Amino acid sequence: MYTATLDAPIEFLKGVGASRADLLKKELGISTYGDMLTFYPFRYIDRTRFYKINELNPDLPLVQLVGRITGKETIGEKHKKRIVAKFTDETGTIELVWFQSLKWVDDNVQRGKVYIAFGKPTLFNNTFSISHPDLENYPRPATVTGNLTLQPIYNSTEKLKKRFLDSKGIQKLQRLLIETHLREVPETLPAYILEKYRLAGRREALLNIHFPDNPSALQHAERRLKFEELFFIQLMLLNSKQVRTLKFKGVLFNSVGARVNTFYKDILPFALTNAQKRVIKEIRMDTQRGIQMNRLVQGDVGSGKTVVALMSMLLSNDNGYQACMMAPTEILARQHYASLVELLGDQLVKVDILTGSTPKKKREALHAGLEDGSIDILVGTHALIEDKVKFKNLGLVVIDEQHRFGVEQRAKLWRKNTIPPHILVMTATPIPRTLAMTVYGDLDVSMIDELPVGRKPIVTKHLFEGQRMRMFGFMKEEISKGRQVYIVYPLIKESEKLDLLHLEAGIEQMRYQFPLPDFQISIVHGQMPNVDKQFEMQRFIKGESQIMVATTVIEVGVNVPNASVMVIENAERFGLSQLHQLRGRVGRGAEQSFCILMSGQKLSKEGKLRLDTMVKTTNGFEISEIDLQLRGPGDLAGTQQSGVLDLKLADLVKDQVILQEARNMVKDIFEEDPMLELPRNSLLSAFLRRKNQGISFDKIS
């Protein structure tokens, strides 16, 4: 992005030198002039505001005062030696104190002179003082980089501070860089884009992000730099999508055949929701274009994603191709398999299952069946990705619960067929639109934004430990109506032993409350052998047990329509999206369902907000927005691996409008100029070539 000078090692900037350059690199990742220029302040202090001494209070952060030095003396001995000056305005007097650089202070701070003093006031013995204040002559002289109205504050570290690279020291380097090298900074955005969105030029923006003259200049600069950041991410994402589209052919699903029709007309026990119909239509369109489909289907828990997946797989079968469906856990894979077999019977297609615990003999038969094409649909876990698993002609891969699968794994699946199979990713983790656009920017997104009719919204209650008996009473009532109940305990690595103890104590208490033989309790947690888990799950699914005590292994996908109560223990310890997932395990049948959040009396502010949110809404998207605000995007499922969220300025929550603008712009550009051949887009094609994002169109055509 930079001319040779801006690529210059920071070491050569006046006042830096080799050893500080080393530190800058280690501590802040700054190695060149250009890196430094894009190391932005993290906040600003308003230096247009002057305080009077009688306005000071100990809670104020940094303040600036105008006053005269009315006294100055050196007191104390040795390491306690310090200079204390009296600083006076028309409303009072405070002390300015220095413990270091005493000689310099003694020589330069003059009694009787008026200064601007800047620093953090502290109250001691009824007198305010500021230690190591910033002193400037009054009035301030104008400089190239403007009058300091908003003072930039930079992040620094202890090590850097020791080498005088505190915020102030960094500010000095920035000022020097701007004064000497700003004119070499090249524009990165084409002029027509700047014009269209009324964006500041890059130089102006860099000047004003470091040394803004006023708040509106700062805002203008921020907008430009945020736009740029988001724009180039979108450019890369949509470009790789474009390249993929041009480079890879897609399996053709030309026709709807007997299997889809039979299933739809004779088997499907309910009418599809409009949202389901719409998404199936989108998939139909995608798969008859001769281009590989990469589609993400988002739908809240219980919105009916499985049927959509199933019909897509049948479509693949109808066109002579196999399909597979990957689930993140063995339990889920089995559940999917069981429900597919139950729905389809054994006439229509041949469905089979492959997981880590499939015995060797069965495995061999499976491999053979996949290679000769006698298996139409394969359900499974990660085991599906193994290289040994070969298909005769794989046309579609459904991935349930995307966030557990990395991009690399997706790519592995592509290679299972000469023409890469279509990919359909299903996720019930509602991702806020902004995040979807960024993290999954290279996928097309479908939304199932409607629940099947007749679903009653789940009633959620928050109870404190003291109300536990009420909870048990309620459970008994529901069970006596023939319903089933989940009780979920947190189990996290750091406190695993203690958590298991809680779980066991909980079960003890339950056995006392719900004595056998009237009540059967199933127990499932991550520490159990797989076979035991399966056994206990099956008991609950078949209705042989009424209560399922579990850790979060049941988080995703488990479908027992007769279960109508979800009790979550220590609910304050779960994240919002996890709570939402867990709650989604109930409310799947015709009965009114309930979710009871149990918590201790003492709650953190955030913990309370999470529980209140759960009580207030059942809308997954609303919940995910709040989750995003609470945790930031870094924590959200799927974002860690993506590497696209390395944003310096833009905030995916606050800057949604800019993100949308940037994305729209990129879309328009590719629509009009798919190869970026127009002269006006030359900056963009140059950017992509540098990023080596596989824009090598010559190879494609």
Q: Which is nearer to ligand ADP, 453 or 531 (CB)?
A: 453
* Residue at shortest CB range from Mg ion: 557
Residues 554-583 that bind Mg ion (CB under 5 A): 557
What is the distance in angstroms between the CA of the first residue and the CA of the last residue of the chain? 28
Please, which residues have CB within 8 angstroms of residue 147's CB and are 6 or more apart in sequence?
Answer: 140, 213
Burial class (CB in 10 A: 0-12, 13-18, 19+), 103: exposed
CA-based nearest residue to 308, from 165, 424, 188, 158: 424
270, 281, 374, 532: residue in contact with ligand ADP (rule CB under 6 A): 270
Among 171, 303, 322, 618, binds ligand ADP (CB under 6 A): 303
The answer to whether residues 50 and 118 touch, using CB atoms and an 8 Å cutoff, is: no
Q: Are 135 and 69 in contact (CB under 8 A)?
A: no
The CB density around residue 465, as the number of other CB atoms within 10 Å, is 12
Q: Could you tell me the smallest distance in angstroms from the CB atom of residue 448 to ligand ADP?
A: 7
CA distance linking residue 224 with residue 661, whole number of Å: 12
Tell me the C-alpha distance between 261 and 489, whole Å. 44
Binding test (CB under 6 A) with ligand ADP, winner from 301, 326, 353, 385: 301
Query: Should residue 302 be labelled a site residue for Mg ion when binding is judged by CB under 5 A?
Result: no
Indicate which of Mg ion, ligand ADP, none lies near residue 303 (CB less than 5 to 8 Å, by partner kind).
ligand ADP
Closest residue to ligand ADP, Cβ-based? Answer: 304
Measure the CA–CA gap between 327 and 313, rounded to whole angstroms: 15
Residues 103-122 that bind Mg ion (CB under 5 A): none
Token pair for residue 450? Answer: 């409607």
**Residue (234 or 306) nearer to ligand ADP, CB:** 306
Instruction: Give backbone dihedrals phi and psi of 276, rounded to 5 degrees, phi first.
Output: -60, -45
Q: 328 contacts which partner out of ligand ADP, Mg ion, none, CB within 5 to 8 A by kind?
A: none
CB 570 within 8 A of CB 524: no
Nearest approach, Cβ of residue 559 and ligand ADP (Å): 5
- CA distance linking residue 627 with residue 613, whole number of Å: 10
Shorter beta-carbon distance to Mg ion: residue 230 or 325: 325
Instruction: Select 96 or 447, whichever has its Cβ closest to ligand ADP.
Output: 447
273 binds ligand ADP (CB under 6 A): yes
516, 517, 519, 521: CA torsion to nearest 10: 60
Nearer to ligand ADP, 201 or 589 (CB): 589
Report the C-alpha gap between 220 and 199 in whole angstroms.
Answer: 7
Residue 302 within binding range of ligand ADP, rule CB under 6 A: yes
Phi, psi of 73 (to 5 degrees): -145, 155
564 binds ligand ADP (CB under 6 A): no
Q: Is 430 in the site for ligand ADP (CB under 6 A)?
A: no
Contact status: 306 vs ligand ADP (CB under 6 A):
yes
Q: Which is nearer to ligand ADP, 220 or 588 (CB)?
A: 588
Which stretch, 270-278, 323-331, 415-423, 671-679, contacts ligand ADP (CB under 6 A)? Answer: 270-278
Could you tell me the smallest distance in angstroms from the CB atom of residue 119 to Mg ion? Answer: 58
Cα–Cα distance, 169 to 684 (Å, whole number): 35
Applying the rule CB under 6 A, the residues between 573 and 602 that interact with ligand ADP are: 588
Q: Site mask, ligand ADP, residues 444-463, x = CB under 6 A?
A: --------x-----------
Count of residues touching Mg ion (by CB under 5 A): 1
Backbone angles phi, psi at 431, to 5 degrees: -105, 130
Query: Would you count residue 299 as binding Mg ion (CB under 5 A)?
Result: no
Count of residues making up the chain: 701
DSSP 258: H
Residues that bind Mg ion (CB under 5 A): 557
Residues that bind ligand ADP (CB under 6 A): 270, 272-273, 276, 299, 301-307, 428, 452, 559, 561, 588
